Structure 1
Amino acid sequence: MASPRFLPLLRAAVALQAVAILVQAITAGLLLSSPGGRTLHAASAGVLLLAGLLHLAAAVLVWRPGGGPPRAIAPAAGLLVATLVEMALGMAHLKALHVPVGVLMFGGSVVRLVQVWADRRADATAAV
């Protein structure tokens, strides 16, 4: 069980990352349909990178000073690496790889979000 002190930060970071990935999908649609879409998609990629860094930092805080298990670090690091790969593929204009990696990231973020909130129910059950 993760430390209650840093668990809310982890939940907030995972939620922010999931929203940022959703915004990436929306701005990808704008990229195809409007002239300013490329700028919005690039700006939201920066926000996604920051959200990924926050997610990783929160996972480390839950583990090290919080005394929780290190299991939250691997998914956070995986999503951060996927974000960096995704950014490189986008800058290289490799849409055939960029789009599937983005879809995998969206699925991974939803899975991670469910895992974090499932931990919340386990925490509530343990408290009772």
Structure 2
Amino acid sequence: MISPAPLTGPPPAAGPAPPASQAPRSRVPAWIVWSLRVTATLHLAGVLGQAVIGGLFVTGEVDLLTWHNVNAGASTALVGLQLAAAVALWRPARGPAWPLWVSAVQLVLMNAQVLLGMQRMLAPHVPLAMVIFGVAVSMTAWTWRTGRGRS
């Protein structure tokens, strides 16, 4: 569904349009596909970094709490950029809407995670981190998956 469109080539042939059931789906511009791939991948890397930093913090490296906080802000910003890319995929490119909603949920979960961490509420903070990681992996895998014919 979100294959990049060829950037060069002859214009489409003129003539009667095929019936809607046979009309080819329009392709998404490459910059939109790549912006979603890059932001989702960087967000996933940030979330993985959070797990590593958090794990080292709880083993006694207390100085890493500052890095955990900084990375949380960066990861939240990245999922905000991912949301913008998902809006571009949906609206101007006429792609699927579900990546927009998944990205919006990710942004809400990331903000909740930051608040729980700031309150030192580890009982919900750690399981929520697992949910965030799973959703980030799924979203990133979808952006890179081959066979874009399915959405």
TM-score (structure 1 length as normaliser): 0.89
1:53-105 per-position Cα deviation (integer Å, ceiling 9, x unaligned): 01100000111122212121011111111100101111111100000000111
Whole-angstrom CA distance in 1 between matches of 2:134 and 2:52: 15
Whole-angstrom CA distance in 1 between matches of 2:141 and 2:127: 21
- Which protein has the bigger helix share? 1
Whole-angstrom CA distance in 1 between matches of 2:46 and 2:34: 18
Shift of 1:15: 0.4
For the pair 1:105 / 2:132, whether they are aligned, the reply is yes
Shift of 1:116: 1.5
Whole-angstrom CA distance in 1 between matches of 2:122 and 2:99: 30
Which runs of no fewer than 5 residues in structure 1 stay unpaired? none
- Higher Cα radius of gyration: 2
Deviates more, 1:109-118 or 1:40-49: 109-118
Q: Given residue 147 of structure 2, which amino acid in structure 1 is its aligned partner?
A: A
Shift of 1:44: 0.4
For the pair 1:24 / 2:24, whether they are aligned, the reply is no
TM-score (structure 2 length as normaliser): 0.76
Q: Given residue 83 of structure 1, which amino acid in structure 2 is its aligned partner?
A: M
Match of 1:68 among 72, 75, 95: 95
For the pair 1:11 / 2:29, whether they are aligned, the reply is no
Quote the RMSD (CA, aligned, Å).
Answer: 1.5
State the identity %.
32
Where do 1:1-128 residues align within 5 Å?
1-2=1-2, 3-5=28-30, 6-32=32-58, 33-118=60-145, 121-123=146-148
Shift of 1:35: 2.6
Shift of 1:111: 1.2
Whole-angstrom CA distance in 2 between matches of 1:115 and 1:61: 16
Shift of 1:14: 0.6
Q: Given residue 116 of structure 1, which amino acid in structure 2 is its aligned partner?
A: T
Count of residue pairs brought into register by the alignment: 123
